[in-house]
Structure 1
Amino acid sequence: MAPGFNLSPTALGDGFRLESFPEIGSTNALALQRAAEGDPGKLWLVTGHQTGGRGRRGRPWEGRPGNLAATLLLRPKVELARAASLGFVAALALHDALEAVMPRSRFAIAPDGGNLAGGGRFALKWPNDVLGDGAKLSGILLETSGAGTGDLAVAIGIGVNVVDHPRETPYPATDLAALGVACSAADLFFALSDAFVDNLRLWRGGDDLAAVRDKWLGSAAGLGSDIAVDTGGRIVRGVFETIDADCHLVIREANGHMTKVAAGDVHFGAVASVKNLKANV
């Protein structure tokens, strides 16, 4: 086990376990391997240097030494569709952990024109990013194996830019050091393991999505502002109205129609109004 990483007393008391590594290819890949080997879940796999991480739609996640890569393996007894809401639980837990290691500042402005919630430094970008002062700080990736309520395994991967961030990205990115916080990957993980316990209890085994939705909306980036979502088939533009009971994005289009989006890439503010979206981001 790599030195420095520890579970919080709350996490230990709730039966979570930890494996940590100085360096690893992919914490998500190892979590799914552990699931195939029969691991019962509630297992954290964590490193300060991930060399083969990946994001949504197979995109590479660029890991830098000193950043945090962590995956929580869970075996929830829920349907696959309900398990997808664990991504929102993870975002809430990470938001709480970030607030624990760096208090809110009074003002924050998103560089792409999106509104941050409550004047805080951290905001949740649907469906799976956490922003710091409007720039991408973290990404969350859920991967599953099994399909039924008896054999489902969910790997919840969380990557956080702690000491460095990639520069050549289609979206502005940042890291905790750039935001002025002297925090190690181990410090952040300790807070994350603690916050995850509380937010899983809020989720109540998938029975209280309303509570998760309400808390997520309280820290949502871009709520009420112009938004464009590339769904892969078309680009939906309008105003970010809310997320629905299933945590799908709800957009009020120019004609007043409310469109629900289950998955897609989100752009706020001035970028959302660019007609040729893919060519300009």
Structure 2
Amino acid sequence: MRFALAPKAVADGFRLEALETIDSTNAYALAQARAGDPGKLWVVSKNQQSGRGRRGRTWHSPPGNLAATLLVVADFELKLASTLGFVAGLALADALDAVAPQAAISVGPDGGSNFAAAGSGAFSSKAAAGNRFELKWPNDVLASGAKLAGILLESTMLDKNHFAVAIGIGINVAAYPDDLPYPATSLHDLGSKCDAETLFEALSEAWAAYARLWNKGQGLAAIRNCWLERAAGIGGEVAVRVDNRVIRGIFETIDEECHFIIREPDGNVIRIAAGDVHFGAVASASAV
């Protein structure tokens, strides 16, 4: 099976470049932007060898997984670029719901949904109410409390008035690395037979829908509301590492600009623009 865009994505002017092997889909997309590509370009591969994660980390991607990057040449304010990660998370969660219905959440001994993979801590009651795939601020997709996918936004200035954003999405379809410091899973481990090509086509369709809703930032309030419906950890104990500081408290919400809002034990409310989030008491201790 070959990679293909969904009909709605084609109708909205998106293009596709599928590569057998690639170092980094993000790096390739940004290079295309600097060479004059107008954007709305998806770059995809099932064999990414030098993927990148947040804060300079490596994103391991065993063959058979999906590495997809959407190149956006921006005609909106730079400060809105980071909110595209929330659009990407929603699009991916919808795509997963569409093509991996058999990737069910495990059921605990009490008959309830089990979202607490080892070391992952407590998750929200909304999640337990039925979200199969959850969104972890700012850029992960979880299944049964384990990381299934990560999203990385990178940008480059094209001239003094224009910039490009590479929205990289890496999904553990066939396998996940076994040397990670946190719980992880793959679609195949969850019982799904979905392949990377099927998932990408669904992702391209879902992105087109959410991009119209986002509408260059004018629909950010609606995106925020949709994201909160899928959010992991709301109302639970969290620890957030910000540079060399660890902030502990209760995850209350995300604000109108999609910053993380945490209430410390003394009642102080902190607004966080970037950081690493850990759920639950056990995970909080490991964040130090």
Distance 1:253 1:272, change over 3 A: farther
Q: Which runs of 5+ in 2 are unaligned?
A: 106-112
What amino acid sits opposite 1:110 in the alignment? A
Task: Indicate conservation of the 8 Å contact 1:77/1:150, yes or no.
Answer: no
**Residue deviations 1:14-56, cap 9 Å, x none?**
1000000111100000000000011000000000010010100
Equivalent position SS for 2:154: strand
Q: RMSD of aligned C-alpha atoms?
A: 1.5
- Percent identity over the alignment? 55
Cα displacement string for residues 112-166 of structure 1 (whole angstroms, at most 9, x for unaligned residues): 2221523322100000000011100000000001187841100000000001001
Deviation at 1:203, TM superposition (A): 0.4
Instruction: State how 1:183-194 maps to structure 2 within 5 Å.
Output: 183-194=194-205
Match of 1:141 in 2: 152
Q: Which residue of 2 aligns with 1:51?
A: 49
Name which of 66, 75, 90 aligns with 2:88.
90
Please say if residues 108 and 120 of structure 1, whose CA atoms lie closer than 8 Å, have aligned partners that are also in contact. Answer: no
Shift of 1:198: 0.5
Task: Report the Cα distance in structure 1 between the residues aligned to 2:255 and 2:142, rounded to whole angstroms.
Answer: 21
CA offsets 1:179-225 (integer angstroms, 9 cap, x no match) = 01001000100000000001101101111211111000000000100
Return the alpha-carbon distance in structure 1 between the equivalents of residues 73 and 116 of structure 2: 37
Specify the code of the residue in structure 2 equivalent to 1:185: A
Counterpart residue type for residue 32 of structure 2: R
Match of 2:280 in 1: 269
The TM-score, its normalising length taken from structure 1, stands at: 0.94
1:62-120 deviations in Å (ceiling 9; x for gaps): 11110000000011211211111001100010011001112374734222222152332
Secondary structure at the counterpart of residue 238 of structure 1:
strand
- Residue 43 of structure 2: SS of its match in structure 1? strand
In 2, the alpha carbon distance for the partners of 1:234 and 1:173 equals 25
The alignment status of 1:247 with 2:269, answered yes or no, reads: no
Q: Which residue of 2 aligns with 1:16?
A: 14
Q: Is the counterpart of residue 176 in structure 1 residue 211 in structure 2?
A: no
1:155 aligned residue: 166
**Is 1:110–2:121 an aligned residue pair?**
no
Report the Cα offset of residue 233 of structure 1.
2.9
Counterpart for residue 221 of structure 2? 210
Amino acid at match of 1:109: F
TM-score normalised by length of structure 2: 0.92
Q: Which segment drifts farther, 95-104 or 106-115?
A: 106-115
Does the aligned pair in 1 maintain the 2:41–2:71 contact within 8 Å?
yes
Tell me the equivalent position of 2:108: none
**Displacement after TM superposition at 1:4 (Å):** 1.0
- Give the partner amino acid of 2:212: R
State the distance in 1 between where 2:261 and 2:76 align: 25
The residue that corresponds to 2:243 in the other structure is: 232
Cα 1:122–1:149 shift into 2, 3 Å: farther
1:269 to partner: Cα distance: 0.9
**Distance of aligned partners of 1:105 and 1:149 in 2 relative to their CA distance in 1, 3 Å threshold:** farther
CA 1:98–1:108 in 2, change beyond 3 Å: closer, same or farther?
Answer: farther
SS in 2 for 1:215: helix
Deviating 4+ runs (over 6 angstroms): none
**Counterpart of 1:162 in 2: which secondary structure?**
coil
- SS of match in other structure, 1:24: coil
Distance 1:200 1:207 in 2: 11
Within 2, Cα distance between the matches of 1:219 and 1:200?
Answer: 18
Structure-1 separation of matches of 2:210 and 2:77:
19
Figure out how many residues of one structure are paired with residues of the other and give that number: 275
After superposition, the Cα gap between the structure-2 partners of 1:194 and 1:149, relative to the gap in structure 1 and judged at 3 Å, is farther
